[in-house]
Amino acid sequence: MSANRDAVISLRKRFQDALSTHAFGRSVLWLESVASTNDEARKWADSDAPHGAVVFADHQTGGRGRHGRSWLAMPGLNLTVSLILRPVFQPAGFGLITLAASLAVCECISRSCSSLSPSIKWPNDILIEGKKCCGMLLESVIASDRNGSYVILGIGLNVNQVEYPGSLRASATSLMLACGRPVDRALLLADLLQRLERMYSRVESRPEGIVKDYESNLDGIGRRLHLSDARSGYTYRGIFRGIDGSGALLLDLDSDLDSEIRSFHAGDVRLIENDG
Ligand code: BTN
């Protein structure tokens, strides 16, 4: 039996002992290695995966990030997981899942290491002291028959990795780097799924509260932003005013005329930088 396989078996056992959810993580596909957990989750969702099913991989060989970027995570040290959701609410509300997931990850980080105060960079990067420790990739399939629709929430959380390639060294961090000690991935995943399940039920019952809580953890409100629309090639600058009820970013556009506040959805634009 390979060391990798032993590690996944041990992680699975500790995870199962710690899990206290109703649905999330009750069915898990445990993989030593896969190209992308999001792709695997999608295949499973197209067949019979139940709501709350999870794909875990100890190593991703083709991890995908937002806007066609790749997601790099060293094997055996991080969490690379995809959660399959079958929302009973309308697709217009799917964007709120991003907000709920960001809040759940922030809570989970603070609970695993009480000295840390994570924040959110719109739409769903989680930062610790300005460096990214977690990214999420939300992909949805909307069927004409509502029961056929699903959402894949892919989460890449840097846990015990302490070395990053040159290009990422200045911008990436992990829980171990920030907290100064290793974190048990099995317990972390069980706790994360519990928090995700609780937040997800808030999306179903009281979405207004989610928007408010998300905004209070959001970085950069009141600061200048620079957004780019890859499709049109257009760049927008202005002051970041927060988000609307669907999670869209509100930008007070630079203009010589009256102030114009415009909303931007996460799938349409890329946040280039904070102008300061
Ligand atoms: C981003 O910040 O650009 C999003 C990164 C999302 C990475 C996770 S890792 C698990 C899941 N599988 C993937 O291929 N991507 C997501």
Ligand 1 within 6 A of CB of 220: no
Residue nearest to atom 3 of ligand 1 (CA): 65
- Give me the helices (H) in the chain, please: 3-18, 37-46, 95-112, 166-169, 175-179, 185-205, 207-216
pLDDT of residue 149: 94
> Taking Cα atoms as reference points, which of 182, 211, 155 lies closest to residue 25?
155
Q: How far apart are CA 107 and CA 117, in angstroms?
A: 9
> Taking Cα atoms as reference points, which of 224, 216, 71 lies closest to residue 136?
71
- In this structure, the number of other CB atoms found within 10 A of the CB of residue 39 comes to 19
DSSP 8-state symbol, 158 = -
pLDDT of residue 159: 98
Residue nearest to atom 16 of ligand 1 (CA): 154
pLDDT of residue 276: 41
Between 3-18 and 185-205, two packed helices, what is the crossing angle to 10 degrees? 50
Q: How far apart are CA 184 and CA 159, in angstroms?
A: 9
pLDDT of residue 167: 87
Taking the centre of ligand 1 as the mean of its atom positions, its distance from the CA of residue 85, in whole angstroms, is 16
Taking the centre of ligand 1 as the mean of its atom positions, its distance from the CA of residue 92, in whole angstroms, is 22
Taking the centre of ligand 1 as the mean of its atom positions, its distance from the CA of residue 63, in whole angstroms, is 6
Q: 45: which 2 tokens?
A: 């969702």
pTM: 0.95
Cα–Cα distances (Å) from 81 to 14, 38, 155, 157, 251, in that order, read 16, 8, 5, 9, 32
Ligand 1 within 6 A of CB of 135: yes
Sites in the chain below the pLDDT cut of 50: 275-276
> Taking Cα atoms as reference points, which of 145, 175, 150, 151 lies closest to residue 162?
175
DSSP 95-154: HHHHHHHHHHHHHHHHHH-TT---EEETTTEEEETTEEEEEEEEEEE--SSGGG-EEEEE
Ligand 1 within 6 A of CB of 80: yes
Question: Tens digit of pLDDT for each residue in 23-49?
Answer: 999 999 999 999 999 999 999 999 999
- Ligand 1 nearest-atom number relative to CA 135: 2
Cis omega before residue 207 (within 30°)? no
Ligand 1 within 6 A of CB of 67: no
Question: Tens digit of pLDDT for each residue in 194-219?
Answer: 999 999 999 999 888 999 999 999 99
Q: 142: which 2 tokens?
A: 């909307």
Ligand 1 within 6 A of CB of 251: no
- Ligand 1 nearest-atom number relative to CA 65: 3
